[in-house]
Structure 1
Amino acid sequence: MAKHIHCTSEVAQLRQQMERECEAMHLALRGTAIVARHDIISHRHRILDNYQGQLERFVGYQQALQISLEVYDQATARHQPGSP
């Protein structure tokens, strides 16, 4: 039981870290910076890949991929015109 709780909290923490990285990528692409440097965006993608790899250890490849896509989609949707 304790291992499941630990796993759940690890997944939640990784998901939050992924959300922060997606937010940072979006700001680099569309924020106040005039030009987003390719190496910065690539670095953020590598970090996200690392988080996805960590998630895979807890929930498997398919679920980790699903979580990654959900986080990315949610971060992107927040910055669409007309979104709250």
Structure 2
Amino acid sequence: MNEWTIVTTIVVIVGLIVTVTTPLLKLNTSITQLRSLIENVVKRVDDNEHDNTESHRRIWEHNDEQDALLQNHELRIHDLEKGTNHEH
């Protein structure tokens, strides 16, 4: 083997390493970015579920208060109608 064969072999090996390594580094970077995005999305979904649960709790609490007020009004109307029916 002469020197040029050795140099050519080394250049080919270095070129092969660069050819394989560059896409692998880009892939690794992309995977890292995707992992970060997915973690962020999961956190937002969890936060959204918590916020929705709290909102629904407040809505149902308000609904229960409105039901009580409505029942009170119905009883008052009933009592008023009952009182006017006895007078006639």
Calculate the TM-score normalised by the size of structure 1: 0.37
Greater relative CO (CA pairs within 8 A, separation 6+): 1
The structure whose Rg is larger is 2
Calculate the TM-score normalised by the size of structure 2: 0.35
